[in-house]
Amino acid sequence: CFHRRILEPLQLIWCQEEIMNREDAMKKVKKCLALAKSSNEHEAATALRQAQALMREYQLTDFEVSASDIKEVRVRAQSSCIVAWENRLVNRICGAFGTERFFDRQYDEAGNLRTWYVFIGFPSSVEIAAYAYEILSRQCAKARREHVSKQKRCKPATKTARGDAFAWGWVDRVAQLIHNFAQPTENKQLLLSYMEHQHPELKIVNAKDRIDKKSDGHIHAGWQAGANDELNRGVGSTQQHQGLLT
């Protein structure tokens, strides 16, 4: 078995006869790239050459290596279609945490329609974004239902419009709190490329705007209700979910 020369202290060594799939090779490439940041120029250069050699051998592209850490997190949507207030909340969250997203609709085996928002990003940010949406969308939907229940002698369409207006105001107010937890990334183009590569079937769909022109008072009511919700920054070694507690 032929071994490459042992390099101290990096210990970058593998056997030519070792059977390795592309996933294993990817892990070794990432490890080499991390070691390529060494302050020792010789060690860094050696690590980079070995990473490049692995990429050539296993036909790994720069994009595949860069995008290998990207993660998708699915969260159940509050609505059966893309509605303006929920879409606005998702957009604000993704903007704050540097993630991308798409809306997914599927029928389960029983024929029931299931909807999700799928958040795309790097682990630390995408998990926070998904968690923020899960908590805040649930709170907003609950507040919206309570507001709609107070609307008497209204047509269903009017109740829907007023409920959506209320939710729109709620989201606008809470968005200011989300901004306090923002940690945007500089990888927007990489995430968009990932979506094009992994989900080429996606297309742009406009959100349903069911708010009428007489909804200003309901938007203001939502704004006031949103002010009652608080986001607290948590502490801890892992800082999971960035302490988005309500």
This prediction has a pTM of: 0.70
CA-CA-CA-CA torsion sign (155, 156, 157, 159): positive
Q: Which residues contact 106 (CB under 8 A, 6 or more apart)?
A: 113, 114
In the prediction, which pLDDT does 242 show? 42
pLDDT at 11 > cutoff 70: no
In the prediction, which pLDDT does 98 show? 87
pLDDT at 92 > cutoff 70: yes
Contact between residue 90 and residue 128 where contact means Cβ atoms under 8 Å apart: no
In the prediction, which pLDDT does 72 show? 92
Contact between residue 76 and residue 83 where contact means Cβ atoms under 8 Å apart: no
